[in-house]
Chains A and B, each alone.
Chain A
Amino acid sequence: MVTEDEEVKNEISFYNMLKEEIFNFLPLELKNILLKIDPKELETIEEIRLRAGKPLMLESCSGSWFVNQRGRLEKNCTNEKVVFQHEIIKAFELMSQNSIYAFLEDIRNGFITLKGGHRVGIAGRVVVEGGIVKNIKDMSALNIRVSKEVRGCSKKIMKYIVKNKNDIYSTLIVSPPQCGKTTMLRDIARNISNGIKSMSFNGIKVGIVDERSEIASCHKGIAQNDVGIRTDVLDGCPKAIGMTMMLRSMSPKVIITDEIGNSGDMEAVMQVINAGTRIIASAHGYNISELKTRKEVLGLIEQKAFERYIVLDNSQGPGTLKEVIDGITMKGVQQDAS
């Protein structure tokens, strides 16, 4: 139970976090406009969008909002505050701590991760050399995705994952985009790693292979999100290679990774399973039958790599539990039984 007092405290600290970790990296003019916005309006903020020559916009649960000079949010485009390209470039310089050279690897992937785990996506003119992206120059748009840790969001589904007090089921989390897959994975990682007292589940060693720096949101190798005490993170490593590396180097009991389904993933996952290590992964999809249309995932389903499939949707807010399916029998697991 969260008491009202705690909630108020959370709001304030969320606003402070926005100020400290995001607004501080914006050029002065943009920062001042954002500071004029009522903190209450920013509670549900998901994205801050800067586009060259277009108005400053915020995305939240309730849709997109235009920000005007006085920091008011409006539904209709007023074109009052237009973001200039030089502001975008300056914001990017500030976000990379004036050291674009140090973030080039990230820039090549199209995003950088700020301290605090916020991801900043970049669009602009891409410099390609020999088929490899070398750099992004003349930036024209930034998408700042505010990272929010939702502690305890996996509470409802932990009982389907935990097998006994020292073991868990290999699980695939299936959900459409924007339904909290990654947030869920992060919370699961924390729970498994720290242990769950109420279920008398002891914590076990967790290895996270975080190809896109989304789960742990590492900034210079240090996890910015709390992913648990027994957790090791391999940041920015391609999944298939990373899983094998993790297996050899850190002897995890569980490997957690995001969005499987590329070629090579199947073999890597089977290797993990064969080594007696559990795996928790996520995949894009609306239901199991849709998943089966994808070759790599179908292979895994047929080889019974996963013992549990957990399907999420957005019907009652992000992370709503839709169904749980047993991977061996392919039948639904009674949701009421615990």
Chain B
Amino acid sequence: MLLKLIGSLLIMAASSFLGVYFSKECARRPRELRELQRLLQMFENEISFLSSTVTEAFIKLSGYYESNIRLFFSQAAEILMHKNGINASEAWEMAVKENIKKTALKKEDEAIVLSFGKMLGASDLEGQISNIRLTLTQLKMQEEKAEEEKEKNKTMYMNLGVLGGLAIVIILI
């Protein structure tokens, strides 16, 4: 009897943990989207007020946050520093494609992030700023969508975890 009790407690604990984990995961995507927006805003400041080069700005930006979003910037900067005849838009594409898996961003977010790179560094300041602004509005929309999704899924995962555990326990007993 005691063994059964311990076993069912363990199952309950594990499944609730899974539920909490997944509901936390839901919150990651909107958070990362917000962070990306903030980084892009800082990038705008870097190039318009300090007229830093793309590489300089990216190195600076990658020091600001701890999350995986910064990997886009740090890796792109690293590629550019090697000077292998790779320009900024190519470096950005490489860095994003390599690191997108480590973030919670979805395919549709990736498309926006990649299209940001197409113009990167290749125009005058106004062009750069309008490119950043466009990307920011698109990311804002994605963030709102992600936020809604998060609210929906968060409780669902939580409930699913606890109740699922309960169900397993009942079946096994």
Q: Does B159 contact A (CB under 8 A)?
A: no
Stretch from A22-30, A47-55, A234-242 forming part of the interface with B: A22-30
Within 8 Å CB of B125, what residues of A? Answer: 101, 104
A98 touches B87 (CB 8 A): yes
Interface hits, B78-121 → A, CB 8 Å: 80, 83-85, 87-88, 91, 120-121
Chain A residues within an 8 Å CB radius of B87: 90, 93-94, 98
Q: Which residues of A contact B122 (CB under 8 A)?
A: 93, 98, 100
Q: Once bound together, how far apart are the Cα atoms of A191 and B36, in whole Å? A: 53
With CB as the reference atom, state the residue of chain A lying closest to B126: A101
Which B residues are in CB contact (< 8 Å) with A8?
A: none
Q: For the complex, would chain B's binding face be called helix, strand, loop or mixed by DSSP majority?
A: loop
What is the CA–CA distance of A134 and B127 in the complex, to the nearest angstrom? Answer: 13
Q: Does A151 contact B (CB under 8 A)?
A: no
Which residues, 28 to 63 on B, are CB-close (under 8 Å) to A?
47, 51-55
Within 8 A of A (CB), among B118-154: 120-125, 127-128
**Chain B positions within 8 Å of A263 at CB level:** none
The complex places the Cα of A90 from the Cα of B91 at a distance, in Å, of 13
- B85 proximity list for chain A (CB < 8 A): 24, 26-28, 31, 90, 94
A183 vs chain B, min Cβ distance (A):
28
Residue of B at shortest CB range from A32?
B85
Query: Are B121 and A101 in contact (CB-based, < 8 A)?
Result: yes
- B55: which A residues are within 8 A, CB to CB? 97-99
Question: Is there an interface contact between A98 and B124, defined as CB atoms closer than 8 Å?
Answer: no
A132: Cβ under 8 A from any B Cβ? no
Q: By the criterion CB–CB under 8 Å, are A102 and B83 in contact? A: no
For A116-159 the 0/1 string (1 means CB < 8 A from B) is: 00000000000000000011000000000000000000000000
Please tell me which one of the listed residues B53, B83, B84 contacts residue A99 in the complex, with CB atoms under 8 A apart. B53
A98 / chain B contacts, CB cutoff of 8 Å? 53-55, 80, 87-88, 91, 120-122
With a CB–CB cut-off of 8 A, which chain A residues contact B88?
Answer: 93, 98-99
Provide the bound-state CA to CA distance between A90 and B127, in Å.
Answer: 17
Cβ–Cβ < 8 Å partners of B91 in chain A:
98
Other-chain contact of A101, B51, B80, B83 (Cβ < 8 Å): B51
A contact residues around B53 at 8 Å (CB)? 96-99, 102
Interface SS, A side: helix
Q: Which residues of B contact A97 (CB under 8 A)?
A: 53-55, 80
Cβ–Cβ contact A102 & B80, under 8 A: no
Closest chain-A Cβ to B112's Cβ sits at a distance in Å of: 20
Shortest B13–chain A CB gap in Å is 52
A99 touches B54 (CB 8 A): yes
Q: Give the residues in chain B near A101, CB-CB below 8 Å.
A: 47, 51, 121, 123-125, 127-128
The answer to whether B51 and A102 have CB atoms under 8 Å apart is: yes
* Cβ of A17 to closest chain B Cβ, rounded Å: 14
Residues of A within 8 A of B124 (CB): 100-101, 104, 134-135
The docked-state distance in angstroms from the alpha carbon of A94 to that of B123 is: 13
Q: Which positions 10-60 of chain A face chain B at CB distance < 8 Å?
A: 24-28, 31
Across the interface, do B120 and A102 meet the contact criterion of CB distance under 8 Å?
Answer: no
Contact of B47 among A24, A27, A99 (CB under 8 A): A99
Query: When chains A and B are docked, how far (Å) is the Cα of A73 from the Cα of B41?
Result: 49
Residue of A with least CB distance to B50: A102
Q: A25 — which chain B residues lie within 8 A by C-beta?
A: 83
- Give residues of chain B (10-37) contacting chain A, Cβ–Cβ below 8 Å: none
Across-interface contacts of A28 in B (CB, < 8 A): 84-85
* CB proximity to B under 8 Å, residues A65-110: 90, 93-94, 96-102, 104
Give bound CA distance, A104 to B124, whole Å: 7
* Complexed CA–CA distance, A97 and B120 (Å): 11
Nearest residue, chain A, Cβ from B120: A98
Q: With the chains together, A25 CA to B54 CA distance in Å?
A: 15
Select from chain B the residue with minimum beta-carbon distance to A97.
B53
Q: How far is the CB of B75 from chain A (nearest CB, A)?
A: 15
Closest residue of chain B to A87, judged by CB? B85
Contact B47 A102 (CB under 8 A): yes
State the CA gap A98–B90 with chains docked (Å): 11
A102 to B55, CA, bound (A): 12
Q: Which residues of A contact B51 (CB under 8 A)?
A: 99, 101-102
- Chain A residue numbers with a CB within 8 Å of B128 are 101
Residues of A within 8 A of B (CB): 24-28, 31, 90, 93-94, 96-102, 104, 134-135
* Listed A/B pairs (23) with beta-carbon separation below 8 Å: A24-B83, A27-B85, A90-B87, A93-B88, A93-B121, A94-B83, A94-B87, A97-B80, A98-B54, A98-B87, A98-B121, A98-B122, A99-B47, A99-B51, A99-B53, A99-B55, A100-B123, A100-B124, A101-B51, A101-B121, A101-B123, A102-B52, A104-B124
